[in-house]
Structure 1
């Protein structure tokens, strides 16, 4: 990261935080469920420390990792994230990470611009997902370099890039803050093409670094490109371009990571203002929907799935637990336990329904809002989760 590669600090920060959480769990000999909660708490704390965003850190864990609002998870994650932010604020100060100065609210009559911008971000987000998931095959076709030396390739590319464009390298924090001073659309487009291509090359090399900040940087660039283009057409006031820069960071993040709530809270905290929640939500939701229609998938789930091997799925391990919520309209709702095609080696242990805990049998009817505790093979966790996610899809 310090060399100037297009990688962010949040990925390693999340990993460091989760490692601390896992270490605490092992030190206190916590149960497997408590260990996962502590690991999640550490991850939320790491993201909070990296970006000064405790709400965004907790929301990321709930929305992207656990996919449910279990009080046990979000309370611990939020507590850890708040404490991490408290420590960081006392050591490094309370200035927002992206203290972008803007003075004008986005006019309601211009909201049609947000719909176009969201669709544009959803399309670009789908392309970035595709590139990130497929460019690794290019590295695999380089026979002369082992995997652990692939980082040499982006390092060599970085030398001329840094020589000619020193202000455009790195995670992109300073670039975001200076975007409102660049008014040439062609220059902004060239910077974006540099950022998106080199971000994919950097990340797929296997070097330790995150994609949060690079995604936010690309989103800010796209917002500047769109805004300046509309200014040139006479359809937008120049003073509102900075607003679109902020909104686009959340929109592209929502499209690529598929976590709109996290995107909204993260950007609000990083910018240090809650005055733009409505336009942030509009752009994020539109970008998310467009990406969904184009066949997009959550990038972190896809990257994790790529790491899983057939041997992992075939290995029989110890018993573990997985907690899932039943959504309104899913294929699980209003069916008896015996009628569900459960994944192999999966047992429904407990159903949490409101204040009651139900020990189910085959005739127990599942209802929307139920919280299921499944007993599974610990080495089948990812596979079972994927199958349960498909069962949660809406009924035809």
Structure 2
């Protein structure tokens, strides 16, 4: 093959990737705008003004379980796997179903309306995978390009959901595998994320939350030492959440024989009981109000633990949505509670906890560091970089998504085989 032909193929391939990614980004930007607007309406305008809706969460679980059990499976592929199915699609293990996006949106609306503790990035990412698969089938994309476009869908979903296009671009490449960045997808992920973000904010005028750090500690050995200790604490909290969430899922699937209707109904009942025990709806839904308050004023010291339990039960019993916002809540409120003990600014520790807890669960240190840069306008970048690395290492081979593949262990102390999934590693530990 001569040089001229090589360049021609190279340029045409880049053009195709960019074109397909732009289509994915435009669609995901629009669907994410719809997701954010609808969630705000259901969560803020309806549920918060009608606290009695929490008593209908078990019935919402029945509806959700029925939909997923009867319409969510095809040829061994199950949309109930959520983000794990998208990751498996990138690895060529499973096939992402096109119906996944609409169903996860409906499930998220049900969960938010009736008070399940959930977020939004899961719905956006799964819609991204669904749209990418639709583009793949429509244009008859080959298997290698299919994987790249699925990562583009992830990027578009995350970038548009949080208004962080640079983070979204890297997140799509970093999420699917631990210890390896899929650089071949860089162009597609970048285009999809930026187009998705632009369409969400500029075309549809849907904004995102602002979290402001009032002050950052001066750079010093003492401050870095405190940040390292805090990052270890945040990483362990992240592991606690992941283990509890997956443990509830495993036990409920075993006890109810993988009957999604019974699992979600039971989980909904537990959330209702927990809400009555706590005597507050602060830990239902997304919890954005308390999340924002944690940057400004002291909040209940055990708020992080309550949200951890509420979210683990909600997601572990079969409700859907996302886990980024709940992890932001857990980290920020824990940072808020630890602020007096570490003698550091409250807003800074809320931000640090928010980033470090999510990093430990997502296993995407580079993307989450960039998230801190975009969310907090570059304040305290040195501290956030250290916190992300420490949280990533100390969280071990645990995480939100068992289908994540370990291509390079986080440390030589971890005895893993390259290519194993987190789920496989977890099973080996139990045996």
Same fold (TM over 0.5): yes
Corresponding residue of 1:131 = 244
Corresponding residue of 2:85 = none
- In the alignment, structure 2 segments of 5+ residues that lack a partner are 1-110, 426-431
Count matched residues.
302
Mapped pair 1:277 → 2:381: yes
* Paired residues of 1:119 and 1:287 also in contact (CA < 8 A): yes
Mapped pair 1:16 → 2:120: no
Moved segments of 4+, more than 6 Å:
324-327
**For the residues of structure 2 that align with 1:326 and 1:265, how far apart are their CA atoms?**
21
* Paired residues of 2:295 and 2:336 also in contact (CA < 8 A): yes
Two-structure CA RMSD over aligned residues (Å):
3.0
Q: Which has the larger radius of gyration?
A: 1
**For the residues of structure 1 that align with 2:290 and 2:265, how far apart are their CA atoms?**
25
Mapped pair 1:115 → 2:228: yes
Corresponding residue of 1:266 = 371
Structure with the bigger RCO (C-alpha within 8 Å, sep 6+) is 2
Corresponding residue of 1:177 = 292
Mapped pair 1:202 → 2:287: no
**For the residues of structure 2 that align with 1:88 and 1:177, how far apart are their CA atoms?**
22
* Paired residues of 1:268 and 1:274 also in contact (CA < 8 A): yes
Taking a change above 3 Å as real, the CA distance of residues 384 and 27 of structure 1, as seen in their structure-2 partners, is: farther
Deviation, 1:90, is 1.2
**For the residues of structure 2 that align with 1:119 and 1:63, how far apart are their CA atoms?**
22
**Alpha-carbon deviations, 1:233-272, whole Å to 9, x = none?**
xxx15xx110111111111112122211121112332x24
Question: More helix per residue: 1 or 2?
Answer: 2
**How is 1:1-396 mapped onto 2 (pairs within 5 angstroms)?**
1-3=111-113, 4-66=115-177, 68-93=180-205, 95=207, 97-109=208-220, 110-143=223-256, 146-159=259-272, 164-183=279-298, 187-189=300-302, 191-230=303-342, 236=343, 240-269=345-374, 271-292=375-396, 296-300=397-401, 302=402, 385-386=419-420
Deviation, 1:290, is 2.1
**Alpha-carbon deviations, 1:272-292, whole Å to 9, x = none?**
411221111111112222223
* Paired residues of 1:106 and 1:279 also in contact (CA < 8 A): no
Q: TM-score, normalised by structure 2?
A: 0.63
- In the alignment, structure 1 segments of 5+ residues that lack a partner are 231-235, 306-323, 331-382, 391-396
Taking a change above 3 Å as real, the CA distance of residues 143 and 298 of structure 1, as seen in their structure-2 partners, is: closer
**For the residues of structure 1 that align with 2:133 and 2:206, how far apart are their CA atoms?**
28
Corresponding residue of 1:344 = none
